[in-house]
Amino acid sequence: MTGAVEVRIPFRAPLDAASLLAFFAARAVPGVENVQAGTYRRSLRLPKGAGVVELMPTATHVDARLWLDDNGDLPEATRRSRSMLDLDRDPRPVLAALGADDLIGPLIRAAPGLRVPGTPDPHELAIRAVIGQQISVAGAATLAGRLVADYGERMARPVGSVTQLFPSASALAETDPGQLGMPGARGRALQSLAAALASGELRLDDGVEPDRAREQLLAQPGIGPWTTEYVAMRALCDPDAFLPADLGIRRALTQLGQDGSPAAAARLAERWRPYRAYAFQHLLAATISA
């Protein structure tokens, strides 16, 4: 691994970096990622080798340091860094579309820099979405950490506490679902998903149409609408993804005096198109801060 390369990554302000870092910190998988003192660091599985990226947001740009096996991966690592922090989104159209809404307009105007946390690896995100089904955020991070310890790859040159690559879909496709440390149905769903990703039967890469990916995800055993929309939001960068059955959304709408049922939430969210994913993030933030 070469010495660190420093990159200054621009974005269109405002950026609510604190919310992004808090999101990643709550979900950090031991060995793969950590958040400390305003800095997010994690491992990357890149085309030419492994890497570690360290992201330090400021008010006007993100200072990035990258340790790469091959510096030919620098453009791709930078692109993935932008995706993680949703830096390619111009917040102005979101504010214009949602800022005047009677219900969530005050939330939007109060935090116009709120972004949708992304991912550097759609396969990893989909696998982690299945891991997190029906358990707490902390529980999902712990379970993911066990999978990393059992099936991940130790980096030849770790950086601080970032020592592992998240298990590849190919590695998890070869596992015994009964040995994954989760309920049987979820273990089988994870192994089946990994096999579909490894074979190319299921595509979540750049250029795939979100609706096509949704169809393929829903066809996988053990994957329902919540997981599908979560993957569409964070892995496919669909700005209109929405999770009406999410517990946080139900709580937020109830706190705002609305019917929090999934059917009512879905009807209400129709007026937030094409930025329902951003409405989702603002509602979740309101619930956390309440």
Verdict on whether the full-model pTM lies above 0.85: yes
CA atoms within 13 A of residue 41's CA, in its CB half-sphere: 21
Q: Could you tell me the residue range of the domain that residue 80 belongs to?
A: 5-86
- What confidence score (pLDDT) does residue 182 get? 93
Which tokens hold the place of 91?
A: 């917040």
CA atoms within 13 A of residue 113's CA, in its CB half-sphere: 16
272 and 167 share one domain: yes
99 and 181 share one domain: yes
- What confidence score (pLDDT) does residue 206 get? 80
Query: Strand pairing of 39-46 and 162-165?
Result: unpaired
Say how far residue 211 (Cα) sits from the centre of its chain: 18
Q: Assess whether pLDDT exceeds 70 at residue 1.
A: no
65 and 92 share one domain: no
Q: Assess whether pLDDT exceeds 70 at residue 289.
A: no
133 and 196 share one domain: yes
Over residues 31-46, the pLDDT tens digits come to 999 999 999 999 999 9
Please give the average per-residue pLDDT across 35-62, as a whole number: 97
- What confidence score (pLDDT) does residue 207 get? 83
- What confidence score (pLDDT) does residue 3 get? 83
Domain end call among 86, 103, 127: 86
Please give the average per-residue pLDDT across 272-282, as a whole number: 98
Looking up residue 145, the CATH number of its domain turns out to be: 1.10.340.30
Cβ burial, residue 103 (10 Å; 0-12/13-18/19+): middle
Looking up residue 34, the CATH number of its domain turns out to be: 3.30.310.20
Residue 246 designated active-site: yes
Q: How confident is the model at residue 2 (pLDDT cuts 50, 70, 90)?
A: low
If residue 41 lies in a helix (H) or strand (E), which one and from where to where? strand 39-46
68 and 105 share one domain: no
102 and 193 share one domain: yes
Number of domains in the chain: 2
Over residues 76-106, the pLDDT tens digits come to 999 999 999 999 999 999 999 999 999 999 9
232 and 166 share one domain: yes
Q: Point out the catalytic residue in the list 73, 238, 240, 246.
A: 246
58 and 167 share one domain: no
119 and 210 share one domain: yes
